[in-house]
A and B are shown apart, each in its own frame.
Chain A
Amino acid sequence: MTTESLPFPGLQHVPATEVPQTGKDFSSDQEVRWCPGCGDYAVLKAVQSFLPDLGLRRENIVFISGIGCSSRFPYYLDTYGMHSIHGRAPAIATGLATARDDLSVWVVTGDGDALSIGGNHLIHALRRNVNMTILLFNNRIYGLTKGQYSPTSELGKVTKSTPMGSLDNPFNPVSLALGAEGTFVARTVDSDRKHLTAVLSAAAAHRGTSFVEIYQNCPIFNDGAFDAVKDNDTKADALIPLVHGEPIRFGAPGEDGLGAKGVVRDPATGGLRIAEVAEVGADAVLVHDAHADDPTTAFALSRLTDPGHLHKAPIGIFRQVDHVSYDDQARGQITTARAGHEDTALELDALLHSGDTWTVA
């Protein structure tokens, strides 16, 4: 049995397991060594308990990471894995995913790893649409090197390397991924196990590159960076859940029981803005279409994210469209070229003798 019969088309050709697995099967014997309270623990737990749902053979799952706190991830999963070098995981995973169609390939990376030193590989993996799922743990700080600002830190951030405040504008990872032609772009939060698992499932189900930004708290060097979107008192007004086919509403419930705030088109700019539903009417609220081929609206949604102290952020799947993947095409070209040329010894002999030859008796 392969996973074609399972609800994960993104994993077609990956052999399915005959014996049901549990989260424990995916825990390696290595002691987990993140700081107490680190958001990475929650994501690891969620991934370990979610992986059995994929129904894949454990030996056909590979996690590739770069460098950073989160990049220790592969050591704690009893699958195949490589803890590689800073920023290069998407490149290594591209080779792995292109060489083999029977593997489920995961990249674990962070904001510094993926967006700073490895930015080039990230955008090119996205535009190629290689079959892999990229989990970007965004803690908005450099943890492993002990607290310098990162490419997602808010402007003016005071850190060890920026005592008078950082000077560079942060990236919005979702905007970046959409700009890089990402075909599956989503955001979730470490502390929301249910949402995290749902997004990971959808990412695994997607054929091509899935990009998932995970807001991850670093209690040691950047504690509270996500308080507004996590705190029970504020999160209803801060998180904007995106659900395909549903109006984008959030905040404390209004008269109709749905969020009192909604995302509407701004006729003046063509962009999106947040409005009180009571003022604009429920019909004016934008219905989320993650499957729209044009990424413009998804991009506009990503811009609703507050770039500073993060008091507002849409979460969920911004975009999910079917485009042909690089590795499927690469293997397809080889299959086509091989047809009728399977005898490699014969082919090699013909190759070596190609062009003008002459015989010396």
Chain B
Amino acid sequence: MTKQVKQLDRVIIRFAGDSGDGMQLTGDRFTQETASFGNDLSTLPNFPAEIRAPQGTLPGVSSFQVHFADHDILTPGDAPDVLVAMNPAALRANLGDLPKGATIVVDSHDFTSRNLSKAGYTENPLETDALAEFAVHSYDLTDMTVEAVKEFGLSRKDAGRAKNMFALGLVSWMYGRPTEPTVTFLERRFAKAPDIRDANVTAFRAGWYFGETTEAFVVQYEVKPAPMPPGVYRNITGNLALAYGLVAGSTQSGLPLFLGSYPITPASDILHELSKHKRFGVTTFQAEDEIAGIGAALGASFAGSLGVTTTSGPGIALKSETIGLAVMTELPLVVVDVQRGGPSTGLPTKTEQADLLQAMFGRNGESPVPIVAPRSPADCFDAAVEAARIAVTYRTPVMLLSDGMLANGSEPWRIPEVEDLPRIEPGFATEPNHQTTNAKGETVEEFWPYLRDEDTLARPWAVPGTKGLEHRIGGLEKGDGHGNISYDPTNHDFMVRTRQAKVDRIAESLPPLEVDDPSGKARVLVLGWGSTYGPIGAAVRRARTAGLEVAQVHLRHLNPFPQDLGDILKSYDAVMVPEMNLGQLSMLLRARYLVDVVGYNYVRGLPLKAAELASAITDLVEATTGETPSSVSDGHQAPAAVKESVR
């Protein structure tokens, strides 16, 4: 039968099922198909902290959202246009996010009274008018899968497991996705289990044919490839990009990478990834605890490696003392914090930006640490290289603040040319740097470990094995220059100021901020950092589409702030700072620049919603300028935004 083909400019699909249903894999495969098709895309996995939460329950629901478009997009999307629900719990858990008119593809197999009640349904929503506002396609996908793969002789249970591939095949048909990448993937993944491989491939194809042949699906949608700058692309998650960035930091500095780490969600994937790259001279040390992870990394830095430790917020709390030691000993160290919901164990698998002040101040004494934050999954690569540059150049620990949304989210990445990557110069000390006269009046060559470079204020890095430069470092206060223990009050004051001045000097090496203010007439600035880049960018676009003038600036460096930030802030009448915390950057900006910024703060464990933020931006522009926009609606219903000032 002939099907109608309808053009769309963008679609948001959410795959949802039980954590055992393989929804992450399904979403990931759909993403890969979409990436290779050439759409721009952005993804958001969302899964429970429990490995296998009780089957069929709301807490056990795992989902994967992918937003793809024929144009450049910035976020995984606020509300899905299509929900694929594999059981009653998945339907119930996600229904609230769907706008009116959304499409629901549902596997009716598990809509039994037992499973319905596990999900909290008293009536079967497929049989009432509960879903009347939506376009529902309800089929027993499990039975169709079992039927399709029966020739492989699998048990009913094993056969039913391929239902996620059936659903993937169906949705792939609906959106005209290429199938070869998934077939190749399945063949590779299950090469050792031919019956499972064949069942999955067959289920995937059967899903596709089901879409093509059944009359239920009359429309196939097409989302054209997005124009993108020329180059070679791949889809990449933040954790993967961050791991690659660390490898690049190592190759570009010529320093062997040493990762000391203790497993923690959502940072462990960086440890897993780096452990595969020993051919780059990467050592990965899975330590006995967070403290040993960073301790070993610092020991490796002392030995002349690029020491790195990776963790999430609770791990940073444990590493604080060693970060202080790195500040005092002035050794390079990259500390990666993939932020998650806190405090304490908090929300391990959810995202948050609430470790900024911990990164900034979470140590005893005056203990300045540079902070770098990536703004999108692919940007984790550049941010990691930048963190390595600062650490090595300035002999300092550097905090790299990623978050759960960046870690697991993905987007297309234009792969850089290796020769375009920055070079990082370790500039090891090789010779004595100071002369004194001994008792006999002879000149003696000495090595002073705390004599500083005039430009960067960095101290010399002399690694063990370098003849004549034997020296001792440690956590006790150092005398200026010679570096011996000093309890002298004036020296301490001087050293405290010098360590701060060294970190402040980093600002001299930063490029000017990019101010996105197309007309140059905006009076309101939206300033953000980290993963809110996507939602802020999308919200600013909406506001502009509605005719408002809004400027946007996004910070990569949170400490020190770029030199031009103060002037930029003061050149706008109002500054809004959206954050997934209660106003941590706001607090720093107010303290530093005395600018009365307006916070926009949600701490829901999820990315900010662009529609809500757009509406808050609109309110602020109206309040500042008296302008009223035509409309900021995008067809999705935006819940009332909460605009909060700083706590």
Contacts and interface: CB of A to CB of B under 8 A. Distances in A.
B291 A88 contact: yes
Contact of B296 (A61, A67, A95, A356): A95
Contact of A95 (B303, B416, B466): B303
Contact of A348 (B303, B418, B484): B418
Contacts of B32: 356
Interface stretch (A75-83, A255-263, A308-316): A75-83
A303 interface: no
A175 B287 CA distance: 23
B468 to A, nearest CB: 7
B321 to A, nearest CB: 5
A352 B278 contact: no
Contacts of B36: 356, 358
A92 B233 contact: no
A145 interface: no
A92 B295 contact: yes
A114 to B, nearest CB: 14
A103 B99 CA distance: 64
Interface in B282-312: 282-283, 285, 287-289, 291-292, 295-305, 307
Interface in A44-87: 57-62, 64, 67, 74-75, 78-85
B451 interface: no
A197 B298 CA distance: 31
B248 interface: yes
B474 A83 contact: yes
Interface string B378-398: 000000000000000000000
Nearest to A93: B299
Interface stretch (A214-222, A241-249, A266-274, A334-342): A334-342
Interface residues of A, number: 60
Interface string A271-295: 0000000000000000000000000
B299 A95 contact: yes
Contact of A347 (B233, B258, B280): B280
B280 A348 contact: yes
Given A60-B465, A98-B300, A360 B283 contact: no
Given A121-B288, A351-B244, A356-B181, A337 B278 contact: yes
A96 interface: yes
A59 B285 contact: no
Nearest to B243: A351
Interface string A224-262: 000000000000000000000000000000000000000
A100 interface: yes
Contacts of A64: 299
Contacts of B302: 62, 82, 92, 95-96
B415 A96 contact: no
A164 interface: no
Given A83-B476, A88-B295, A351-B247, A95 B233 contact: no
Contacts of B232: 353, 357-360
Interface in A19-35: 28, 30
Contacts of A59: 464-470
Nearest to A88: B295
17 contacts: A59-B470, A60-B464, A75-B472, A75-B484, A80-B464, A81-B471, A94-B285, A95-B297, A95-B303, A96-B302, A98-B285, A100-B303, A124-B292, A333-B278, A344-B251, A347-B279, A359-B231
Interface of A: 15, 28, 30, 57-62, 64, 67, 74-75, 78-85, 88, 91-100, 102-103, 120-121, 123-124, 330, 333-334, 336-338, 341, 344-345, 347-349, 351-353, 355-361
Interface of B: 32, 35-36, 38, 181, 228-235, 244, 247-248, 251, 256, 258, 260, 277-283, 285, 287-289, 291-292, 295-305, 307, 321-322, 324-325, 329, 415-416, 418-419, 464-476, 484-485
